[in-house]
Amino acid sequence: MSRFRKALLAAFAAALVASPAPAKKAGLGRPALPEEIAAWDIDVRPDGAGLPPGRGSVKQGEALYLARCASCHGEFGEGAGRWPALAGGHGSLRGEAPEKTIGSFWPYPTTAFDYIRRAMPYGDARSLSDDEVYAITAFLLHQNDVVAADFVLSKENFTTVRLPNEAAFYGDDREQAERHFWTQEPCMKNCKPDAKITGRARVIDVTPEDGNKGLKVE
């Protein structure tokens, strides 16, 4: 195939994905200013796209974490009460009570940076500087045995850090792995010899008591 035709086909395939034929514009909205985009576009991807300039050490992160995060997430990231744990849980994913933390479960460290920067501390979002987010992320990576105690995390070295569970994730394969849910003709008569009760909610009984409780809610 000629290079030209290949290019044409590629362009055509791309056009199929990205809506064909230049659509008629409504002429609504106005151009976004660079300052406006910079104010809101703070998202970070696993390849490092979106990381702001900056750096922070595990040591700096520890002090910040104890002041701003530990009351909910525990001094070591183990989670206080029912607040989420951020460290630990290694080797728990196949067990009865998997503990999904940054170190035991999350595939990418950029996710922690992005999330802390956009949403934490809970109830006081966007109050950390970029250097502080680097430092706290470094500390949490250290709590999860991913980096050493003297590590300094920066925009430059971020993508060299990998999390141990990255390879465990794969795309939705339900249409193959669960194909039999599509192919079985549903049985209508005498489908099984008997139906015995094997479990009851009443035994565990964690259902909220009654209407009055619901009525209390603001």
Binding span for ligand HEC by CB under 6 A among 1-9, 108-116, 145-153, 195-203 = 108-116
Our CB check for another protein shows the closer of 4 and 148 to be 4
Using CB under 6 A as the binding rule, whether residue 73 contacts ligand HEC is answered as: yes
Our CB check for another protein shows the closer of 1 and 26 to be 26
Please tell me the distance from the alpha carbon of residue 26 to that of residue 1, in angstroms, as a whole number. 40
As measured in angstroms, the least distance from the Cβ of 113 to ligand HEC is: 9
Using CB under 8 A as the binding rule, whether residue 196 contacts another protein is answered as: yes
Give the CA distances from residue 136 to residues 56, 67, 68, 121, 140, in Å, rounded to whole numbers and listed in that order: 8, 11, 10, 11, 6
Give the CA distances from residue 68 to residues 62, 76, 128, 133, 146, in Å, rounded to whole numbers and listed in that order: 10, 13, 10, 11, 22
Using CB under 8 A as the binding rule, whether residue 35 contacts another protein is answered as: no
Binding span for another protein by CB under 8 A among 53-61, 105-113, 128-136, 143-151 = 105-113
Using CB under 6 A as the binding rule, whether residue 71 contacts ligand HEC is answered as: yes
As measured in angstroms, the least distance from the Cβ of 139 to ligand HEC is: 8
Partner whose footprint covers residue 209, from another protein, ligand HEC, none (CB < 5 to 8 Å by kind): another protein
Residues 85 and 99 sit within 8 Å (Cβ to Cβ): yes
Q: How many residues are present in the chain?
A: 218
Using CB under 8 A as the binding rule, whether residue 4 contacts another protein is answered as: no
Using CB under 6 A as the binding rule, whether residue 163 contacts ligand HEC is answered as: no
Q: Which residues pair with 56 in a beta bridge?
A: 153
Peptide bond just before 121 cis, omega within 30 deg: yes
As measured in angstroms, the least distance from the Cβ of 59 to another protein is: 25
**Residue owning tokens 């990231």:** 77
Residues 72 and 80 sit within 8 Å (Cβ to Cβ): yes
Q: Give me the residues that bind ligand HEC (CB under 6 A), please.
A: 68-69, 71-73, 83-84, 86, 112, 115-116, 120-123, 136
